[in-house]
Amino acid sequence: MGERELIGLLGLLVLFGLIALRLPVALAMVAVGIGGNYALSIVAPFLRFEPYLAQFKTLTWSVVSSYTLSVVPLFVLMGYLAAHAGLSRDLFQGLNALVGRLRGGVAMAAVLACAGFGAVCGSSLATASTMGRVALPELKRLRYDDGLATGSLAAGGTLGILIPPSVALVIYAIVVEASVVEMFQAAVLPGVLAVALFVAVIAVRLWWDPGLAPPAPAFRSVPDAAARRAALRRLVPVLVIFGAIILGLGLGLFTPTPAAAVGVFAVLTYGVALKALTGDGLGRREIGHAMRDTAVTAGMIYFILFGAEVLKGFFARSGLPAALADWAAAGSTVGAADPWTILLLCLLALILLGCFMDSLSMILVVVPFLFPVLVALNGGDYVPAAQAAYGMTSEDLKIWFGVLALIVVELGLITPPVGLNVFIIRAVSPGVPMGTIFRGVLPFFGIELGRVALILVLPWLALWLPRLV
């Protein structure tokens, strides 16, 4: 490894050090990118520093003016409009009306609502916080076990990243140059599988220990038939809105940006109509708050994307990604680097990093290093599937690894002893000890590892729908 590659490696270590010290990720990336390029210009004078700085005149505009990225603020706005319209409450109450009479049904409804709201919101932390405030009072009123209630919500917050529409899927697709629509299609089966497995975990835990939830006949979380019908009616527009978006994308009726625009318009119409009919929806104040929150969040995301571009320029000039890919290819040729072992180590690293980094930052910082290595281990960009180490082409590898990576990134949010989602749930349920929440999360953590293993063994779970469509 030459001097340039060593500077690149040192820059990567400094980056993780700055993030560990809680410096904002975007600032850390910009600082390492500029500082690293200056160091490269000293070691390798032909890599002049001034031309690198000159790109800043157009770099910001090229990031924010990308048509592909225009979907991001639209999906963010849709999420905030949905939150201010009370969609999280409507989802929970409607699903509770459907399954709340089952033993553990309210916890199941909370998980299902987390999946639905997380798909709209796109943020695991926001989903855990919002659904914690909506569902925990009902779970506590019915005397659910603290570990089951808080564990279900902490784990349920991780579900939204894979269920379309998802901002994280869009960012990943841009990073690896994959089709956004294909990534959405690939995420459907694994996402549905996750929801089913989480509901199954609750059912099995209650079968093993019935005392974790009240007996089904002993309560009526939605007290009468009229109230249940009202809750179900509030659920129908929500399902129609997001069903139309997902089906429209899956059937090719529109691309992601128009789909996001349709979603914003539909949620806005629903919220305003709800306000006019019941006084509980989107008024001028709520719309103003949603616009402000969207501006703040979208600005943060674009700043992170800008920092990623600055950092990418530094790493490209250092030659570190290419050196890692060459090392992987050489190691695979001589049998020193087993492709499946390297893949498992990559997934383990993502789980550990997910304990203290948000999903977007990890996708932008880590994936550009890992994916070229996996492509090299697979045999290169144009190797036929029959000759590839992972048994698939590089295009399929993009999709398959993307699904795996996003699952394990979010898995880090419930990994002891850090688990950011656990801290969020602890904040909205201060009377529950941290150890109780972690114990409640562990069964979901175990089933998530099983889901990762299943997708590793059966790649068609991620690849079947994109190939079919």
The string of DSSP letters for 278-338 reads: HS-S--HHHHHHHHHHHHHHHHHHHHHHHHHHHHHHHHHHHTHHHHHHHHHHHHHHHTSS-
Say what percent of the chain tops pLDDT 70: 93
Which of 170, 162, 179, 164 lies closest to 403, judged by CA? 162
Residue 421 has pLDDT above 50, yes or no: yes
Q: Could you say which DSSP state residue 177 is in?
A: T
Q: How far apart are CA 393 and CA 214, in angstroms?
A: 51
- Apex 454 CA angle, 451 and 460, nearest 5: 115
| pLDDT interval class at 457 (50, 70, 90) | very high
Q: What's the confidence (pLDDT) of residue 459?
A: 92
Q: What is the per-residue pLDDT across 229-262, written as a single tens digit (0 to 9) for each?
A: 777 787 887 778 777 777 777 677 777 788 888 8
Residue 373 has pLDDT above 90, yes or no: no
Q: What is the per-residue pLDDT across 212-236, written as a single tens digit (0 to 9) for each?
A: 888 764 444 445 667 777 777 878 8
> And the tokens for 351?
């789980």
Q: What's the confidence (pLDDT) of residue 337?
A: 64
Q: What's the confidence (pLDDT) of residue 223?
A: 52
Which position has the higher pLDDT, 257 or 329? 257
> And the tokens for 378?
């697979």
Q: What's the confidence (pLDDT) of residue 267?
A: 86
Which of 269, 252, 235, 78 lies closest to 180, judged by CA? 252
DSSP per residue, 129-155: HHHHHHHHHHHHHTT--HHHHHHHHHH
What pTM was estimated for this model as a whole?
Answer: 0.83
- Please answer whether residues 191 and 155 qualify as being in contact, where contact means their C-beta atoms are separated by less than 8 angstroms: no
Q: How far apart are CA 136 and CA 88, in angstroms?
A: 13
Q: What is the per-residue pLDDT across 179-211, written as a single tens digit (0 to 9) for each?
A: 888 888 898 899 899 999 999 999 999 989 888
- Please answer whether residues 158 and 421 qualify as being in contact, where contact means their C-beta atoms are separated by less than 8 angstroms: yes
- Please state, in angstroms and as integers, the Cα–Cα distance from residue 92 to each residue in 104, 112, 116, 228, following that order: 14, 8, 9, 12
Average pLDDT value for the chain: 82
Q: What's the confidence (pLDDT) of residue 218?
A: 43
Residue 350 has pLDDT above 80, yes or no: yes
| pLDDT interval class at 122 (50, 70, 90) | low
Phi and psi at residue 417, to the nearest 5°:
-95, 5
Q: What's the confidence (pLDDT) of residue 221?
A: 46
Q: What's the confidence (pLDDT) of residue 368?
A: 84
Which position has the higher pLDDT, 201 or 321? 201
Q: What residue segments make up the domains of the chain, in order of their start?
A: 68-296
- Please state, in angstroms and as integers, the Cα–Cα distance from residue 397 to each residue in 68, 356, 373, 456, following that order: 21, 27, 12, 11
Q: How far apart are CA 339 and CA 167, in angstroms?
A: 29
Most confidently modeled range among 210-219, 261-270, 414-423: 261-270
Residue 375 has pLDDT above 70, yes or no: yes
